[in-house]
Structure 1
Amino acid sequence: MLSLPDTDLIQIAVVAFNQISPFHLSVPSVVFGEALQGEPVFALKVCSADNDLCLTTSAGYSLVLQYDLQPLKQAQIIIVPSWRNPNERPPEALLAALNKAYQRGATIVGLCLGAYVLAEAGLLTGRKATTHWAYADDFSVRYPEVQLNADILYVEYQGIMTSAGTAAGIDCCLQMLRQQLGADRANRVARRLVVPPHRQGGQRQYIDRPLPTNAQDNRLNALLAWVRSDLSAEYSIDYLANKALMSRRTFTRHFRAATGTTFGNWLLHQRLGLCQQLLERTDQPIESIASHAGFGSVVSMRQHFRQVFGVSPTVWRQTFRV
């Protein structure tokens, strides 16, 4: 495998601590490290937030680390994958390091209960954030100045990202990977991890029935696959409800229960995802891509693309062309 000096790689610091959950620690490690086989892009360093390089885990075994908080001084991305106890204030040295890193332009990420650490550092004051839904009430009471939305998977706001618990941390890390390397490589990593390539940040954390359990849901599942097969066509809720043998009200209810969002929002992100792929993998002109993805005009595609991804389709192509 090609070996590059650390200075040529994107520096990522992951904060570990005593009694850390091995799963939470593994999420950024596997997304930014192991899953990019043969594609060295990131220099990932796991750092101890405690005054010891030998840490305990919640699984009953120990970890021996190489780094204290020193790498946080140079890292472009700093990830706090969780926190051991919402009632415990994190070490002052960690809070100070996070503030200094943010002030110099680093992206700061709090996965799951890592949002508590960012809030204690004052980084979420007046900003949008999320955390594990089960801790939403407690978080809101502790940090009323934070614009908490506990119904979503992850949120990015002014250089800070927070996510819900467990699997949402993977979604959040894949979103960061998508921003750094483009949709194509992020999708390849998702395939290696056998997870969905892109779950929207605004999707609900907790869905009562995420999997088809009856004939109506099976029809809905097949219908969504059919829509994805031809995103250039126009679709109305009434037409799709009729095709699924449901009333409009039943279709709308089942769709939100299955996806956590509205049909219009789901369809928009399916179309934008197709635009990403075509921009990265083909030489098709923007006009052709807009038509193929079902946007009524190039102007509409550009507006939605810039609103969601922060750049124009042309800049995305120049950055992530395969």
Structure 2
Amino acid sequence: MTPVHTLPYDLSSLTWNDDHTNNDQDKYCYCGKGYSEHKTMMQCSTCLQFFHSACVSSVKRPLLYGDIFYEFQCSVCTQAEEKYTREVMKWKQAVQLILYHLTKQRRLSKGKQPEHFYFRFTEEICKLVEENWDVLLWDREMNKTWKNTVASSLSTQPDLFLSGVTKWDSAGKGLWALRSEEPLSKLSSARQAPKTETTKRLKKRKPAKDELQSKKRTRSSRYDHSPVTSPEHNQETTNNDDSGSIMKDTLPTMDKENTNAALDDGALGTTTKSDDSTSDKMKTADEAIVTTKRTIVSSDDLENVADSTTDFKVDDSTVNLMKTDSQPKTLKVRSQCLCM
């Protein structure tokens, strides 16, 4: 057939509806004839005009009702041969197209028009799939399990297909219908049903006996803060404690004797003081002696106590206990003595 390069009407003069699916002049195709529900039509992707599939030379078999899974350019737009290629279809798209074609045929026929038309799985659905395999499923081979794939597509897409079991129980087994008879679109047919997230509950693994024992040891060690020491370290600690106790017992006695001696020497000095001031010094010295009992003296400083000068540092006052061999011992006491 010689390609048609001109149309018998002016395409630009046609008045189309908003969806560009029909025109008021009812002029279509190369032939210029009108639209017919009993004839399938295909649309050019360039000029958007519709053509009867029987008039398109590149189409060897008339299209099914609702078939939109192709790319087509008419010869008027190409000014050469027509361009016609099939798109790769998913299984659910092919099954949906088959059911739409069967439903459309029933609607165009005379007779009772129920809400949904149900079709038999093997005798009608699978038979039409097999007849149009090279057009719809041209990209894959027909294997032995393809009917199982069709059945899976029907049963796993409840938003697209209705099972006869829901209407007639066991008597409707093997019967299927379209949920909606709206014209197919590439977006709607490719849309998948929403998947519900399922959370798997994992069983807890029972711990082994070794793990339980290690956990018990970890828990016990967490609350046991006593240091681990050797017997030799314990013996040294005992000796240090004994020396420290001796130190604490003897140190206050030494400080008291040195303080009393310092008070006696101070009383015999060149400067004479009243009895009241002397009694105040004695009282303050006693407080200083009591405070020294609260201090902790290590065993390392035991040898330096008698010969060195001991200073008690306070905020605004200082108690100095000085011991020398040649000069008399003196005690200088200031008020508000606080030993640190």
Instruction: Give the TM-score taking structure 1 as reference length.
Output: 0.23
Higher helix share: 1
User: Which has the bigger relative contact order, CA under 8 A and spacing at least 6?
Assistant: 1
Larger radius of gyration: 2
Instruction: Give the TM-score taking structure 2 as reference length.
Output: 0.23
